[in-house]
Amino acid sequence: MSSVDGSQAPPPVHVPPPRGKKFFISNVNSFVGQSLVEELRNDHIAQDEVSVHSFIGTTTDLENAPVPSGVSKIITKEKTRAF
């Protein structure tokens, strides 16, 4: 493709989709943790698997709520004390 003055136009630049972010949420089964997961989830608008956010968290025994969908891994509190 040439322009009016005869020079070649640069080829279009392909920009890959942004990578998904990783979130750690303490007490992910609490009301606040569930709200954070629901607000930060992007799997319904992501264009591919690379740009989907991932969630890891701990659970609390004080609330008997289930872990929200979208959380890929639960860390036990015994492991966090070792850090």
First and final C-alpha spacing in the chain:
59
pLDDT at 2 exceeding the cut of 60? no
Q: How many CB atoms lie within 10 A of CB 29?
A: 22
pTM higher than 0.75 = no
Quote the CA–CA distance of 78 and 42 in Å, as a whole number.
Answer: 30
C-alpha 71: how far from chain center? 10
pLDDT in tens, 19-44: 888 999 999 999 999 999 999 988 87
- For the chain, the domains span 22-82
Radius of gyration of the chain (CA): 21
pLDDT in tens, 43-60: 878 778 788 889 999 998
